[in-house]
């Protein structure tokens, strides 16, 4: 963010009074906070058509498509989704790729109903419908009580990190994208969407901590589409954030396939969660796969929070009707779910995440 004579960091530091010593008000050793992350939500034309078909007295309803993950999502203390597209109006019409996409605001209602608490919004598509589409997205999330980070309607909103009270623990959510599809933020709103800039990201994490955040979660929209290996940009950004000691967890998305999970220093990273909701699987079966991750942080005697559990669940996009399903035990899997597991497990574990404490678990009714 730039102003006439002040850098973005000076602005947010002035807002935050960086440097104030604010020790935790209440330390409760053993207190836990669980944080859940997912992949991209993509309202393709088939997804829109299914939501129209599923609707009753309303124009469109995404809740039936998402119900298969509700038990898991609602179990997390903080469940974070990723909104890939800007939003249109409640009445439509709505556009899907390969047109210039916009999602119905009713999507936010469904996301909230299945248990999500917040959404990252920095993506390469967020300005596809201009600043108005970005504004409608944030308005739609606000209407459902969903916190958000990564984009802003005002300079004041852009200057303050999103900090969410989770069981009395302040958790910061930051969000950045590799690109805006070549669409610049309007000159009068140059601060409206966050691009990847490691110095800025670390600086904003520091600001969040100065404002009282005890856990910092960063959403990273980056990588090479369709490639399971992290890109140089992803690897470099993650390493620098881990070295800074300011970020506790990185939740990655964008590439539409599942990428590795790793622990870099004390920081967990999911390089790519794949897709959450999509109709891309007939183009590439891997695009119908997703990972839902859950990290539990436990408070220590000194007031810090340390990751003490790291687990993931494979999610499959069923076609016709479009529905999400968590991959169950081997004996209960459909062949499509079995194929998702076979693709997802080696991708997730390719950086030896299992040796560092990450588990990929089948879903059963007794999992929670």
Q: Each residue of 326-335: pLDDT tens digit?
A: 999 999 999 9
What backbone phi and psi angles, to 5 degrees, belong to 282?
A: -75, -20
154: buried, middle or exposed (CB in 10 Å: 19+, 13-18, 0-12)?
exposed
Give pLDDT, residue 58.
83
Quickly state the pLDDT bin for 11 (edges 50, 70, 90). Answer: low
pLDDT score of 9 more than 90: no
Report the pLDDT averaged over residues 326-348.
97
Over residues 71-76, the mean pLDDT reads: 98
Confidence of residue 180 (pLDDT cuts 50, 70, 90): very high
Q: What is the pLDDT of residue 89?
A: 96
Q: Is the pLDDT of residue 1 over 80?
A: no
Half-sphere exposure of 300 (CA within 13 A, CB side): 8
Q: 355-358 long-range contacts, Cβ below 8 Å, gap at least 24?
A: 356/262, 356/263, 357/263, 357/309, 357/310, 358/261, 358/263, 358/268, 358/310, 358/311, 358/312
Decide if pLDDT at 20 tops 80.
no
Would you list the DSSP string of 217-245?
EEEEE-S-TT-SSPPHHHHHHHHHHHHHT
Domain boundaries, given as residue ranges, for the chain = 32-361
**pLDDT-based confidence at 6, cuts 50/70/90?**
very low
Say what the alpha-carbon torsion angle 323, 328, 333, 336 is, to the nearest 10 degrees. 40
Q: Which band of pLDDT confidence, cut at 50, 70 and 90, is reported for residue 55?
A: very high
pTM, 2 dp: 0.94
| SS3 at position 101 | coil
pLDDT at 10: 58
Percent of the chain clearing pLDDT 70 (strictly above): 92
User: Can you give the pLDDT at residue 97?
Assistant: 84
Mean pLDDT of 315-343: 97
CATH match for 32-361 among 3.40.50.300, 2.30.40.10, 3.40.640.10, 3.60.21.10: 3.60.21.10
285 contacts: CB under 8 Å, gap ≥ 6? 339, 343
Q: Which of the residue ranges 56-60, 256-260, 306-310, 344-348 would you say has the lowest mean pLDDT?
A: 56-60
Query: Cα dist. 322→67, 95, 195 in Å?
Result: 11, 18, 33
Mean pLDDT on 233-237: 98
Q: How far apart are CA 182 and CA 110, in angstroms?
A: 30
52-61, 117-126, 154-163, 170-179: range with lowest mean pLDDT: 52-61
Residues 244, 366: Cα–Cα separation, whole Å: 39
pLDDT above 90 for 211: yes
Q: What is the pLDDT of residue 158?
A: 98
Q: Considering the chain, what percentage of its residues have pLDDT values greater than 90?
A: 89
- pLDDT at residue 203 above 60? yes
pLDDT in tens, 94-145: 999 889 999 999 999 999 999 999 999 999 999 999 999 999 999 999 999 9
Would you give the end-to-end CA distance of the chain in angstroms? Answer: 43
Answer with the residue of higher pLDDT: 366 or 207.
Answer: 207
Question: Among residues 349, 37, 356, which one has the least CA distance to residue 217?
Answer: 37
Residue 302 has pLDDT above 90, yes or no: yes
- Of residues 368 and 194, which shows the higher confidence score? 194
Average pLDDT over every residue of 296-304? 97
Mean pLDDT of the chain: 93
Q: What pLDDT was estimated at residue 22?
A: 53
């Amino acid at each position: 963010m730039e102003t006439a004579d002040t850098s973005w960091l000076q602005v947010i530091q002035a807002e935050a009074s960086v440097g104030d010593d604010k020790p935790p008000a209440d330390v409760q050793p053993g207190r836990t906070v669980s944080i859940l992350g997912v992949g991209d939500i993509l309202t393709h034309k088939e997804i829109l058509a299914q939501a129209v078909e599923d609707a009753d007295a309303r124009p469109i309803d995404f809740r039936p498509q998402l119900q298969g993950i509700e038990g898991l999502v609602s179990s997390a203390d903080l469940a974070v989704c990723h909104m890939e597209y800007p939003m249109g109006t409640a009445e439509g019409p709505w556009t899907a790729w390969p047109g210039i996409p916009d999602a119905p605001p009713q999507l936010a209602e469904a996301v909230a109903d299945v248990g999500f608490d917040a959404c990252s919004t920095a993506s390469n598509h967020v300005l596809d419908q201009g600043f108005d589409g970005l504004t409608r997205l944030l308005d739609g999330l606000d209407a459902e009580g969903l916190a958000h980070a990564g984009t802003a309607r005002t300079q004041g909103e852009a200057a303050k990190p999103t900090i969410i009270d989770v069981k009395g623990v302040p958790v910061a959510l930051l969000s950045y994208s590799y690109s805006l599809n070549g669409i610049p933020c309007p000159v009068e709103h140059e601060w409206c969407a966050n691009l990847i800039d490691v110095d800025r990201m670390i600086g904003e994490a520091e600001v969040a901590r100065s404002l009282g955040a005890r856990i910092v979660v960063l959403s990273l929209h980056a990588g090479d589409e369709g490639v399971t290996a992290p890109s140089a940009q992803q690897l470099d950004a993650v390493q620098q954030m881990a070295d800074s000691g300011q970020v506790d967890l990185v939740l990655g998305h964008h590439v539409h396939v599942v990428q590795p999970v790793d622990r870099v220093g004390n920081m967990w990273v999911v390089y790519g969660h794949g897709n959450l909701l999509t109709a891309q699987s007939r183009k590439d079966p891997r695009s119908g796969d997703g990972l839902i991750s859950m990290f539990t942080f436990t408070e220590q005697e000194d007031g810090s929070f340390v990751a003490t559990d790291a687990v993931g669940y494979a999610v499959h996009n069923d076609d016709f009707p479009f529905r999400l399903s968590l991959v169950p035990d081997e004996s209960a899997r459909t062949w499509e779910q079995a194929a998702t597991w076979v693709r997802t497990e080696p991708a997730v574990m390719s950086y030896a995440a299992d040796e560092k404490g990450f588990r990929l678990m089948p879903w059963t009714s007794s999992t929670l």
